[in-house]
Amino acid sequence: MNNKSIDKILKTSVDSIQGSNGFWQFTYKDRLMILLTDEDNNRMRAISPVIEVKKLTKELMYASLAANFHTALDVKYALSEEVLWSVFIHPLKELSDDQLKDALLQVYNAAETFGTTFSSTDLVFPGSEGKQAPLEEKAKEKKM
């Protein structure tokens, strides 16, 4: 994957687009998203703003961190510049066309489901159904 390939994919996958060659801002299913690349350092990230930090409750913050483990999958919730973002980060060269398209969908889904299921796909890792996984329980016991 490289900037030229990303530009081509974005132009056929998103609603509207601005930018090129390492910085694209676009709407995907009516949601603002940004895709940044650094070809020299082999990195890319697709992001979408979710909520301002000042609007986050302790419960929402905790739920988003738990989702990073169980339901956000390849996407994570992350804080930057007083905003909580839905973020997909990956080595650029190793990224396939299908992975990029899937990443856009996962970033979109995680942003849209924030506050409800906090999920990027239908897949859920064990332990998120109201029960803690054994390692989480042990970690919690050690802190108490």
- Structurally, the chain folds into a number of domains equal to 1
CATH number of the domain residue 41 falls in: 3.30.1460.10
> For the stretch 35-72, what's the b/e string if a residue is b when 16 or more beta carbons lie within 10 angstroms of its beta carbon?
bebeeeeeebbbbbbbbeeeebeeebeebbebbbebbb
Per-residue pLDDT tens digits for 53-109: 999 999 999 999 999 988 999 999 999 999 999 999 999 999 999 999 999 999 999
β-pair partners for 34: 25, 47
State how far the Cα of 121 lies from the Cα of 124, in Å rounded to an integer: 8
63: containing domain: 3-143
- Model's pTM, two decimal places? 0.85
138/127 Cα distance (integer angstroms): 13
Q: What is the DSSP letter of 53?
A: G
pLDDT tens for each residue of 1-35: 999 999 999 999 999 999 988 999 999 999 999 99
